[in-house]
């Protein structure tokens, strides 16, 4: 079974179009949709609830805005609670920038045995449209830096949210890292989670995608300074080995 996990903060303008586009695909796949309302103040949760008749849908609510990484963590754990190890968990944007036409190819690679399949704007054939030049530069810098630091030179885009995960791979990582599975509360969480899964042996592939920002309404939720600081923390954590899976204690082995 497939479960879509969609973090959403103040996306009442964007959710109707997304869920209308997603509904026939989700029904054809027999999929479930989990919306994580991350403390929205614009009625995002209520908008999502209106699509219950069209979708097998659940809404996870945060009382206050806690950040993309925290919302992602909540959604993943909710999906894992009802998933078998070979099920697919698809994370995606709530603002209509994730191209649903890429999903069949992503699922195809998943079914071929890949544990994580990324939608990649920097893979050959991919692109970002309608984005400010500084955001494009920053995104490329993040992917380039962590590709080298993390040994992921063959993967072009590391910061994307639009991905297909194998539930068993996420479950084993959650058991290994515990509550620290997704430590970064903001946008750096996508890179953090990928590094942890890759270091734990996950097979990773990517599919080129076109990310069109003209499809979204409203402003980006990403603040530059906190995001830069978060990536700095993540790079430091990787360099000192905190991204590596923690060792199993001798006590645990004796038990």
For the chain, what is the HEC assignment?
CEEEEEEECCCCCCHHHHHHHHHHHHHHHCCEEEEEEECCCCCHHHHHHCCCCCCEEEEEEECCCCCHHHHHHHHHHHHHCCCCCCCEEEECCCCCCCCHHHHHHHHHHHHCCCCEEEEECCCCCCEEECCCHHHHHHHHHHHHHHHHHHCCCCCCCCCCCCEEEEHHHHHHHHHHHHHHCCCCCCCCHHHHHHHHHHHCCCCEEEEECEEEHHHCCCCCCCCHHHHHHHHHHHHHHHHCCCCCCCCCCHHHHHC
Rounded to 5 degrees, what are φ and ψ at 59? -120, 125
Residue 32 lies in a domain: yes
Cβ burial 6-15 (10 Å sphere, 16+ → b, else e): bbbbbbbebb
Residue 250 lies in a domain: no
Residue 254 lies in a domain: no
Q: How confident is the model at residue 250 (pLDDT cuts 50, 70, 90)?
A: very low
If one counts the domains in the chain, the total is: 1
d(CA 117, CA 103): 10
Per-residue pLDDT at 217 exceeds 60: yes
Judge contact between 143 and 157, C-beta under 8 A: yes
Residue 255 lies in a domain: no
pLDDT cut 70: percent of the chain above it: 89
Mean pLDDT, the chain, integer: 87
Please write the tens of the pLDDT for every residue from 130-174.
877 777 777 777 777 877 777 788 889 888 999 999 999 999 999
Q: Residue 59 forms beta bridges with which residues?
A: 35
Rounded to 5 degrees, what are φ and ψ at 116? -135, 130
Residue 177 lies in a domain: yes
CATH number at residue 83: 3.90.550.10
Q: Domain range for residue 174?
A: 2-245
Q: Residue 210 forms beta bridges with which residues?
A: 127
Nearest residue to 84 via CA among 32, 160, 22: 32
Residue 206 lies in a domain: yes
Residue 101 lies in a domain: yes
Number of other CB atoms surrounding residue 202 within 10 Å: 18
Q: Which residue has the tokens 């060792």?
A: 247
Per-residue pLDDT at 237 exceeds 80: no
Residue 22 lies in a domain: yes
pLDDT of residue 30: 94
Please write the tens of the pLDDT for every residue from 4-60.
999 999 999 999 999 999 999 999 999 999 999 999 999 999 999 998 888 899 999
pLDDT of residue 86: 96
Nearest residue to 180 via CA among 129, 234, 227: 234
């Amino acid at each position: 079974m497939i479960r879509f996990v969609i973090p959403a903060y103040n996306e009442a303008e964007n959710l109707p179009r997304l869920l209308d586009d997603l509904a026939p695909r989700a029904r054809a796949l027999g999929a479930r949709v989990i919306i994580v309302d991350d403390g929205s103040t614009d009625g995002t949760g209520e908008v999502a609830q209106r699509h219950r008749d069209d979708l097998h849908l659940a809404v996870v609510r945060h009382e206050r805005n806690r950040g993309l990484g925290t919302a992602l963590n909540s959604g993943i754990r909710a999906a894992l609670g009802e998933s078998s190890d070979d099920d697919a968990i698809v994370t995606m944007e709530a603002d209509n920038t994730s191209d649903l036409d890429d999903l069949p190819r992503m699922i195809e690679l998943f079914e071929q045995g890949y544990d994580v399949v990324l939608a990649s704007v920097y893979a050959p054939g991919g692109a970002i449209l309608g984005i400010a030049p500084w955001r494009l530069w920053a995104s490329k810098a993040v992917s380039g830096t962590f590709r080298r630091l993390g040994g992921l030179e063959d993967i072009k885009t590391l910061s994307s949210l639009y991905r297909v995960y194998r539930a068993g791979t996420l479950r084993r990582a959650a058991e290994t890292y515990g509550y620290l599975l997704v430590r970064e509360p903001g946008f750096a969480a996508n890179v953090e989670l990928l590094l942890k899964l890759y270091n734990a042996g996950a097979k990773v592939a990517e599919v080129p995608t076109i990310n069109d920002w003209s499809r979204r309404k409203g402003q980006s939720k990403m603040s530059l300074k906190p995001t830069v600081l978060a990536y700095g923390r993540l790079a430091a954590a990787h360099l000192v080995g905190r991204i590596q899976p923690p060792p199993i204690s001798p006590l645990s082995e004796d038990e």
